Amino acid sequence: MRYRAWMSVTLPLGAALFVVVVAGGLGSIFSVLGGNGAIVIGVALAVGVPLAGALLTRRQG
């Protein structure tokens, strides 16, 4: 049961770290690119999401 106790600490810390990294990344994109930051994020999502889906669902072999 030590695994469950360990996860109860690391999971919230990992989630908080993820939020900080994502927020920092978005903040830096908007700071550097200004109004074009939304366009960059939109294009990255439009290209990245289908690409990730294709990579995750492709058949091996």
What's the pLDDT tens digit per position in 4-57?
778 888 889 999 999 999 899 888 888 888 878 888 888 998 999 999 999 889
Identify the residue with better confidence: 1 or 10. 10
Give which of 49, 44, 31, 45 is closest to 57, Cα–Cα. 49
Give ∠ CA 53-56-60 in degrees, rounded to 5.
135
**The total number of structural domains that make up the chain:** 1
Its domain, for residue 40, covers 2-57
pLDDT band of 3, cuts 50, 70, 90 = low
3-class state of residue 16 by DSSP: helix
Instruction: Supply the pLDDT for residue 11.
Output: 87
Residues 26 and 41: beta-carbon distance below 8 Å: yes
Instruction: Specify the pTM.
Output: 0.54
